[in-house]
Structure 1
Amino acid sequence: MDEHLPEPIRAVEHELTALLRRGRAVSWEIAREVHPNLEPNTYGLLLWLRRSGSIRLTELAARLGVGKGTLSRQINALEVLGLVHRDPDPSDRRAAQISMTDEGQRRFDVARAARLGEFLRALDGWPERDVEEFARLLGRFNDSWQ
């Protein structure tokens, strides 16, 4: 089957595989920097929480593309670690708003700064237009998976 695929598609698969492998390794490192007991797959969850400030569990699950049960278990674990908290949603008392604690934000920001430093080093010397185009194309690619 592989020999019937166009070379650019095979190249994309190869490069994405390398990127994802590296990304998993970096996520393990950053997760451990945020908290020694943090699961590596929660970095993306924390990034969404950091960007949104406060968000309902159902909305966060939809944005992350995960089930509410899975997300609820992850949120529970983050609550136990003191990184996030739930507050009653003022518009619907049955629902909760999830946000990061001050300590969670502080730990996340320190760990994220290290990750962004890695990006800066990796993209050092790239023309700004190339970085902008790279970000645009990655966004387009990610949007096509939704």
Structure 2
Amino acid sequence: MDEHLPEPIRAVEHELTALLRRGRAVSWEIAREVHPNLEPNTYGLLLWLRRSGSIRLTELAARLGVGKGTLSRQINALEVLGLVYRDPDPSDRRAAQITFTEEGQRRFDAARSARVGELLRTLNDWPARDVEEFARLLGRFNDSWQ
């Protein structure tokens, strides 16, 4: 089968595999820096939470592409660690808004800043238009892969 794949597709698969491997390693590092007992797969969850400030569990589950049950278990673990809390949603008392605690946000930001520094150093020599195009293409790829 591999010999029948067009070379650009094989190249994308190879580069995507390398990116995902590095991404998992970074997620492990950041998770451990945020809290030693934090599951590494929660980095994406924390990043979405950081970007949105406060978000409903159902909306977060949809954005992350995970089931509400799975996400609820992850949120429970984050609550136990003191990193997030739930508040009743003012527009729907049956729903909850998930928000970082002050400590959770401080820890996440501190752990993430070192990794963002690495990203800035990696892309420092790229022209701004290339970085913009790279972000646009990654966004298009992620939007298409659902």
Measured after TM superposition, the shift of residue 93 of structure 1 is: 1.4
Measured after TM superposition, the shift of residue 132 of structure 1 is: 0.8
Distance in 2 (alpha carbons) for counterparts of 1:142 and 1:39: 23
Q: Tell me the C-alpha RMSD between the 2 structures.
A: 0.7
Identify which range, 62-71 or 120-129, moves more after superposition.
120-129
1:103 matched to 2:107? The reply is no
Distance in 2 (alpha carbons) for counterparts of 1:14 and 1:56: 36
Measured after TM superposition, the shift of residue 89 of structure 1 is: 1.1
Distance in 2 (alpha carbons) for counterparts of 1:11 and 1:19: 12
Deviations 1:2-21 (A, max 9, x none): 11010000000000000100
Deviations 1:5-52 (A, max 9, x none): 100000000000001001101110011111111111101100111111
Distance in 1 (alpha carbons) for counterparts of 2:133 and 2:140: 10
1:13 matched to 2:5? The reply is no
Q: Report the 3-state secondary structure (helix = DSSP H, G, I; strand = E; otherwise coil) of the residue aligned with 1:38.
A: coil
Q: Where does structure 1 differ by over 3 angstroms across 4 or more consecutive aligned residues?
A: none
Distance in 1 (alpha carbons) for counterparts of 2:87 and 2:12: 43
Measured after TM superposition, the shift of residue 123 of structure 1 is: 1.1
Match of 2:29 in 1: 29
In the comparison of the two structures, how many residue pairs are matched?
A: 146
Measured after TM superposition, the shift of residue 124 of structure 1 is: 2.1
Distance in 2 (alpha carbons) for counterparts of 1:121 and 1:53: 27
Distance in 1 (alpha carbons) for counterparts of 2:102 and 2:122: 30
TM-score normalised to the size of structure 2?
A: 0.98
Distance in 1 (alpha carbons) for counterparts of 2:63 and 2:144: 14
Deviations 1:102-141 (A, max 9, x none): 1111011111111101101111211111111111110110
Distance in 2 (alpha carbons) for counterparts of 1:19 and 1:47: 18
Distance in 2 (alpha carbons) for counterparts of 1:139 and 1:63: 13
Structure 1 unaligned regions, length at least 5: none
Percent of aligned pairs with the same amino acid: 92
Q: Report the 3-state secondary structure (helix = DSSP H, G, I; strand = E; otherwise coil) of the residue aligned with 1:31.
A: helix
